[in-house]
Amino acid sequence: MYRGEQVILRAYEKTDLERAHQFFNDYEMMRFLRIGAIYPCSLEQEAEVIENLNKDKSKGYAFAIATLDGKYIGGCGYMDLDQKNATCMVGIVIGDKDYWGKGYGTDAMRVLLGFLFRELSLRKVQLGVFAYNVRGIKSYEKVGYKVEGVFKDQIQRDGIFHDEVRMAIFRDDFLKRDHPPIAT
């Protein structure tokens, strides 16, 4: 529905379930997402997650990310929507590792920001990323996010403590740059 150069952001469908279940049981992927311990997730639990997604859009919403030819490859969305201050947090995951490092996640983030700034009229969008996620940090810098602060030694992974980097982007700065059309 919302289209970028490489991806479409659309609603989650029941048919995404099996692939989502694979994505969210992959440790190599989950280590970029979970601040806490990583547990396996059953098909039934994953179905419940998808079923309960997006019940309250005033708080958050998750889009499925698909390639232009319709293959479901991940998801992205907003949470902690603060209407008074016109801010939110965002998250993104390209779950299909064949699509890492090829610009799909960066394009999806541009489309998501277009939605948040133009459709929801938000003012500022924030995210947290673990310092070892170099690809994530580079991707966010490419769309215009700037580092706002660093939580030192915030996350333990593989027995070592790592920093969490907080990044943000403002509507005016985003809209000054090249930005995606909001809808197809």
Ligand X SMILES: CC(C)(COP(=O)(O)OP(=O)(O)OC[C@H]1O[C@@H](n2cnc3c(N)ncnc32)[C@H](O)[C@@H]1OP(=O)(O)O)[C@@H](O)C(=O)NCCC(=O)NCCS
Task: Give the interface with ligand X as residue ranges (CB under 6 A).
Answer: 29, 32-33, 92-94, 100-106, 129, 133-136, 138-139
Nearest CB to ligand X, comparing residues 141 and 172:
141
Task: List Cβ neighbours of 154 (8 Å cut-off, separation of 6 or more).
Answer: 35, 161, 162, 163, 164
Nearer of residues 44 and 178 to ligand X, judged by Cβ: 178
Pick between residue 83 and residue 177 the one whose CB is nearest to ligand X: 177
- Whose CA is closest to 20, among 92, 77, 90, 95? 95
Give me the residue whose beta carbon is nearest to ligand X. Answer: 105
- Shortest reach from residue 52's CB to ligand X, in Å: 21
Nearer to ligand X, 59 or 91 (CB): 91
User: How is the chain split among helix, strand and coil, in percent rounded to 5?
Assistant: 30, 35, 35
User: Measured from the CB of residue 103, what is the shortest distance to ligand X in angstroms?
Assistant: 4
- HSE, CB side, 13 Å, CA atoms: give it for residue 151: 13
How near is the Cβ of 76 to ligand X at its closest, in Å? 8
Least spacing, CB of residue 84 vs ligand X, in Å: 26
Rounded Cα gap, residues 130 and 34, in angstroms? 10
Total number of residues shown for the chain: 184
Q: In degrees rounded to 5, what are phi and psi of residue 114? A: -60, -45
